[in-house]
Structure 1
Amino acid sequence: MTHTGTPVTVLGLGMMGGALAGAFLRAGHPTTVWNRTAAKADDLVARGATLAASPSAAIAASPLVVVCVSDYDAVTDVLDGPLDGRVVVNLTSGTPTRARALAEEVAGRGGGYLDGGIMAVPDAVGTPDAIIAYSGLRSLHDAHRSTLDILGTCLHLGDDPGLSATHEMATLVLMWGMLDGFLNGVAILGTAGVPPTAYVPIARTAIDTVAGWLPGYARQVEEGVYPADDGTVDTHLSVMAHVIEESESLGVNADLPRLAKALTERAVTAGHGSSGYAALVEQFRQA
C-alpha cells in the first residue's frame, strides 16, 4: 500500500477501534496502532499498519491520535508521555464532565483535544453512513477535517468539548426509549399469539408518525407553549391507565407504562392537564 496521507495513530483495537484503523489504512494514511493485547493488531499490521510497543511510542509517531477504548479511565491510562503538538481525538463514550476535564489535561500537556461520538456500527465506519459528531475547538476540527472525513460524515457541534458526550447521552435515551417501547409491545402482542415479525410493519409506521411530530414538538419546547394538537395530557393519562390495567391482567411487565403515567400525573399536578404532550419536557428538566 502507498501511504500518502497524514500519519495517524489509533489507540485501542476493539471492534470499533479496528474499524477506524482499517479506514485510515484503506485511504492511504500511514497508520500506527497500539492495543493492550497486541495480537489484535495482527490483521492491521498485515495490511500495512505499524504496531507500536507502547502508547507513548504510538503517540510520538503521529500528529493526530485517535483513541477508542473502554472508558475515560482507560483513555487517561493510554495518553502517556508528552502531547506537544498532537491533536487527540477521543472517540470513547463518556460523560461531558470527563470530556471537559480531559480537554484541560491535554491542553496542559501541550496538545489539542476533540471529543467525538460515533453514531454507527463498526461495519459502517469509512462510509458516509457513519455519522461522527465532534466537539472542541473548530480550528482543530477544521485543520484535520480532510482526515476525519475518511471515517464518515463529520458533524461539528461546537467549541465546548462536552457537547459530543451530551448529544450522545440524549441520543442513547431516545434509542432506549424506542427499543424498550418496541419490546414491551412485542411482549403484549405475544400474549395474543402475534409474532414479533408481524408487528414490525405497524411499529415502523408508528415510529415514522411520531418522528413527524418532532419538529412541532421542538418548536413548542423552544417557545414554552404546548398546544394540544394531538391530544391533551389528560387524554394520554387515561390511555396509559388502560395499558397498565391490561398489561397486569395479561401478566406482562407494566413498569414502562407506569413510569410514563407517573411523569404524566406530575404534569397534570403542575397544571398541564389540558396542554399538549410536549409539556412533559418540564418534568424531564427537573432533578
Structure 2
Amino acid sequence: MLGLGAMGTALAGAWLTAGHPLTVWNRTAARADALAARGATVAATAADAVAANRLVVVCLLDDDSVDGTLAGVDLTGKDLVNLITGTPGQARARAAWAERRGARYLDGGIMAVPPMIGVPSAGPYVFYSGSPELFEEHRTALAVPAGTRYVGADAGYAALHDVALLSAMYGMFAGVAHAFALVRGEAVAPGDLAPLLGSWLTAMSGSVARTAEQLESGDYTGGVVSNLAMQVAGRATLLRTAEEHGVSTELLDPYFRLMERRLEIGSGDEDLTGVVDLLRR
C-alpha cells in the first residue's frame, strides 16, 4: 500500500482487520506508526514496498505523485492498482506506462469517503477498469475495503464513471444551495426545509432512468411528465422568486439557457433530455 492519507489509511486498516498481510509506505513515515502497531510491515522506501508483494495498491495525491513515487522502481511482474482521483486520459496513459514497465494495470475510482471504508452497510464501492485478468485474480482482496464494480477493459472507464457521478453530485449540491438561499432570510428554519428537500430530490431521482431510456431510444417524448415547453415557461417564476428574495440566479441560469436553446431547435413535447445533446461539443 503506497500512500497513507485519510483514504489510504482507511483502506490499509480494512485489509489488516481482515487479516491480510500488508506492507505500507508513506512519504511522511510517521503516518505508518498506527498501522505498524496493528501488524503492518513498514517499508523504508516505495521500492521496498513494491518489492514486498505482487499486488501493489497506490492511493497518492495525484498523477504527478505516482510519477514521483514510482520513478525508477522495478514494476516487472507486478499488479498495479491505481486509486488516485484522475481523468480517463490520465488512466489510459498510466496503463500504457505500466505495460511498458512490465506490470498489469487496474485503475480505480472510489465512491466513498474514508469513514465508509470497511463498513459494508455504508455502501462503499470502487469502480475498476483495466486488466480483466488482474481484477479476477485479486477480486476477493479488492472487495475487502469496499464493494467492487468492474466497468471494462478500457483503463479510463473507472475514472469516467467516477467523474460522471461526482459531476451529478455537484449539480445536486448547486440546487440545494439555491434552495437554502431562498429561505435564508425568511422565518423558515433550514432544519424544517431539509427533510422536505431530501425527500423531493429522492422522488425526482426517478427521472434518471427515464433520461437513460430516452437517450438509448432516441425518442425524447416517451414517458414525459412535464414537457420542455411547460418547463421553459415556468422558469420565469423561479427567476422572479429569486429576484424578490435577493438571491443570485447564477446557479440556475446556465441550465435554463440550455433549456431555451433546446426548445428553439427541438419539440416542446420533449423531456429535458435534449439538453444532453447540447452539452456534447
- 10-19 vs 78-87, greater mean Cα deviation: 78-87
1:279 equivalent to 2:270? Answer no
Structure 1: unaligned runs, 5 residues or longer:
1-9
Give, in angstroms, the shift of residue 169 of structure 1. 0.9
**Match in the other structure for 1:5:** none
- One-letter amino acid matched to 2:7: M
**Match in the other structure for 1:132:** 126
**Match in the other structure for 1:197:** 191
Give, in angstroms, the shift of residue 108 of structure 1. 0.6
Give, in angstroms, the shift of residue 284 of structure 1. 2.1
Structure 2: unaligned runs, 5 residues or longer:
none
Give, in angstroms, the shift of residue 28 of structure 1. 1.3
Alignment of 1:154-193 (within 5 A): 154-193=148-187
> Hey, what's the Cα distance between the residues in 2 that align with 1:134 and 1:175?
20
**Match in the other structure for 2:239:** 244
Give, in angstroms, the shift of residue 193 of structure 1. 2.3
- Identity of matched residues, %: 40
**Match in the other structure for 1:266:** 261
> Hey, what's the Cα distance between the residues in 2 that align with 1:257 and 1:238?
14
**Match in the other structure for 1:224:** 218
**Match in the other structure for 2:109:** 117
> Hey, what's the Cα distance between the residues in 2 that align with 1:263 and 1:105?
40
**Match in the other structure for 2:32:** 41
Question: What secondary structure is seen at the aligned counterpart in 2 of 1:254?
Answer: coil
1:16 equivalent to 2:10? Answer no
**Match in the other structure for 2:230:** 235
Q: TM-score, normalised by structure 2?
A: 0.95
| RMSD of aligned alpha carbons | 1.2
1:69 equivalent to 2:63? Answer no
- 215-224 vs 101-110, greater mean Cα deviation: 215-224
- One-letter amino acid matched to 1:144: H
- One-letter amino acid matched to 2:85: S
Q: TM-score, normalised by structure 1?
A: 0.93
- Tell me the matched-pair count: 277
1:28-71 deviation digits (Å, cap 9, x = unpaired): 11111111111111101111111111111111111011111111
